[in-house]
Structure 1
């Protein structure tokens, strides 16, 4: 079969009857739909198919699933396993927006989080929103950075994602509109090869309210994807990108597999693939990895 539809759900939530319904839905549209293949029992499975585009298969799957907690990703069967992973950090590899959490130490979390939400949904210019939020934190004791890091949680499945792709030869990097203080620690903890982000200005133990140039924004994320692909001799089709905000959209659309992970509405609507229910191991299942191939967290 030329294509595959991968279904992923929280553990124990994917039923054989659901796979049968989806296979029938593809057949009703004229597809040649093969026998489902379990990647992880009651969690992830492939349905091979031919005769439909990935977009048609994904739309049919979402219509059939309705509100069921199942993610559907359709891809060409050839070249599923990617050799470059480029991941956003905030609300993707970690569960929080680290700048919002940092703002809590200045009593400004709600105010800054409101700006973050609008920026990540594409309602505000990223650079302007970043400068405004960081500016509000001028004078904050730099010790708040370490306190914020202590409470930062890794997203379930992130460690398995990085370890598994590294074990199979992929280059793994973080690219974030957040800050090096956090991306460096996340990269070290999870085993990313590299990290790219912004640098907060600090002087005399206080935040200056400035971000050092150059600013890593939407265009810089796309440029990083292209640069890393070229450096590793890979076509963009061999890249997997993942993120949740409007500043991720360009790199999601340019990669062979770009996944909007629990994304803001504008991003979820525009991305070719998205994960709304499962954890980050869904990115491995989408590449055809079986449960026994996934590195233990």
Structure 2
């Protein structure tokens, strides 16, 4: 991307010609929250360094996401499921995350998250932040122990796009009235499909491919550019 529109500072231009999005969708790890959940889980398995290296390469687009996820999850085999409660206590919402969610709701929009992480953490996180929709992977657990496998579909880049489209359709919204925010290579298709896609403190290869960027780790900086005035008026 030869040039990018940066929305880092106050006074950044509005991203929608009129009104605001009716749906805001964000990635979770390193976007809505400061952590990478799989790395927090890997701490309990003693594999954090190994998993972090794989995660960094996957998010920069150097590895196939599904393959890399299965590889990372395999290192969690034998960890007890009590790890989920411990990880939840360590989760820190990104600066401005709560404000962005509240501004979306005050403006009449819905807020959703779609994650390559895990439902066991994402579901309670979504409930605590009053998030309307979520999608994430599920870890297989037997006798309260992680097996090192994932259940069902993997939330790949294509699935993220499917979720964006499905949620917009359920709300009667055209994609032009949606916004998406993410940091990794597996977010790029979703960012490009949304009416407005924002690369948030993104990996280098993501910044090369997404034209709107927020490079300051504060999600509240996106409120005004998205037209989320918080005045209680529903987006048109």
TM-score (normalised: structure 2) = 0.91
Consecutive unaligned residues of structure 2, counting only runs of 5 or more, are: none
Q: Deviations over 1:256-290 (max 9, x none)?
A: 11111111111111112111115101221212345
CA distance in 1, matches of 2:7, 2:147: 47
After TM superposition, the structure 1 = structure 2 runs for residues 86-165 of structure 1, keeping only pairs within 5 Å, are: 86-165=25-104
In 2, are the aligned partners of 1:238 and 1:256 still within 8 Å (CA)?
A: yes
1-side partners of 2:6 and 2:29: how far apart?
Answer: 26
SS of residue paired to 1:259: strand
Q: Is residue 2:204 matched to residue 1:265?
A: yes
Residues 6 and 285, structure 1, Cα contact 8 Å, conserved in 2: no
| Cα deviation digits, residues 125-155 of structure 1 (max 9, x gap) | 0110000000111111111121111111111
Indicate if the aligned counterparts of 1:6 and 1:286 stay in contact, CA closer than 8 A. Answer: no
Q: Which sections of structure 1, spanning at least 5 residues, go unmatched?
A: 10-43, 48-73
Check whether the contact 2:137–2:154 (CA below 8 A) recurs between aligned residues. yes
Instruction: Find the partner of 1:202 among 123, 141, 153.
Output: 141
Deviation at 1:293, TM superposition (A): 5.1
What's the RMSD between the two structures over aligned residues? 1.8
Contact preservation (8 Å) 1:8, 1:278: no
Q: Which residue is equivalent to 2:177?
A: 238
Question: Aligned partners of 1:226, 1:155: CA distance in 2, in Å?
Answer: 25
- 1:50-65 equivalences under 5 Å are none
Residue by residue over 1:56-94, the C-alpha shift from the partner in whole angstroms, topping out at 9 and shown as x without a partner, is xxxxxxxxxxxxxxxxxx735x23511101111000011
Matched, 1:45 2:11: yes
Q: Which has the higher contact order (CA 8 A, sep 6+)?
A: 2
Q: Any idea what SS the aligned residue of 2:192 has?
A: helix
2:102 is aligned with 1:174: no
CA contact (8 A) 1:138 1:207 kept: yes
Partner deviation per Cα, 1:1-26 (whole Å, 9 max, x = no partner): xxxx88543xxxxxxxxxxxxxxxxx
Deviations 1:214-257 (A, max 9, x none): 11111000011111111211111100101111110000011111
Q: Secondary structure at the match of 1:271?
A: coil
Alignment match, 1:219: 158
By percentage of residues, which structure has more helix? Answer: 1
Aligned partners of 2:214 and 2:168: how far apart in 1? Answer: 24
Aligned-partner Cα distance in 1 for 2:203–2:102: 27
1:82 counterpart = 2:18? no
The number of residue pairs the alignment matches comes to: 228
Moved over 6 A (4+): none
